[in-house]
Structure 1
């Protein structure tokens, strides 16, 4: 059985960058499940699998189609219980929901402002037009104005990591001695920036940097299979 993971990319189809797809790629690797990556652009999403989704990731596992990175993780946990756990119990699942909320509310908006122009510049022209229109509608201002605000977002970015930094001073992963899905949630945000933008969000000597390097090495170096921008 061949699993397919539909993965967002720019004009270079060998460089998938979606933070949410990276959560799923790491989850599949964590479970030891083989999969093929199907690269797609923003404007191609609605055409895949007969219009099954308007967002990625989308996973085809045999006859089953699953969307949303958290739902995919839950599906993998239920379907492959004999494989390494992504949640290690109800408590870890609940904590992962909190981590997802923190990542979406704190990390993603800041990262978006920092790298938004880099994302745009790496897209095909048809996707650039879509990206500009959709992001300007979301932010209520021009793409250039959002990008200009990225400087202040970068200047204060390290402060936003303090809860994560505090934890990683005392343990190697959010999951403890070994990673869980909570790690992949946060990893996705940093991997997104690493692949798309030459701007560096993490500094040497930071416990968060050390954790990110450990995550890049997981599963045979899956995270390093795409080089940094």
Structure 2
């Protein structure tokens, strides 16, 4: 079974990868770093059938990611790295941009060639072997009308940055319910996002965690 097939069995996919240099801050001996995220369609149904979701304990997705990607890494003799569990935190966003398939969007959130602004990272694999990685591609924003710039109903997320308090206050209002239950309107406005089969239920889960944080 190929690595892609192994990941697909867990509804995970390779979002991009690169061959690190010393400046990248990857674990010593890493010759290939792969960024992993949900594989659609079907990720949410797969995840919500997991013991981590079913047991009712906190942080089910992080615990599922640690178990699943950790086991894959162990089988490969690789190291699993995660965007949670710090501080200190891994430089996941910087690594993502190094792949040449993920960029900073006009509103500064990351945008993926495959998943648009719905891109999310469940972890990364640091391999001791040098393997082929998905090739860099053109940034979709360069030929886009950039609806993300004007999509936020309260102007909390623009090219000037992210006004988190304004966003969270809006989510408390009736007008903010579509963002809370279906996902951020800015992320949904991205044309690449619209072609990605992420369910509203998954977006609602992440929005609820964001809204309830600090």
* Alignment TM-score > 0.5, same fold: no
TM range (shorter): under 0.3
Q: Per residue, is there more helix in 1 or in 2?
A: 1
Q: Per residue, is there more strand in 1 or in 2?
A: 2
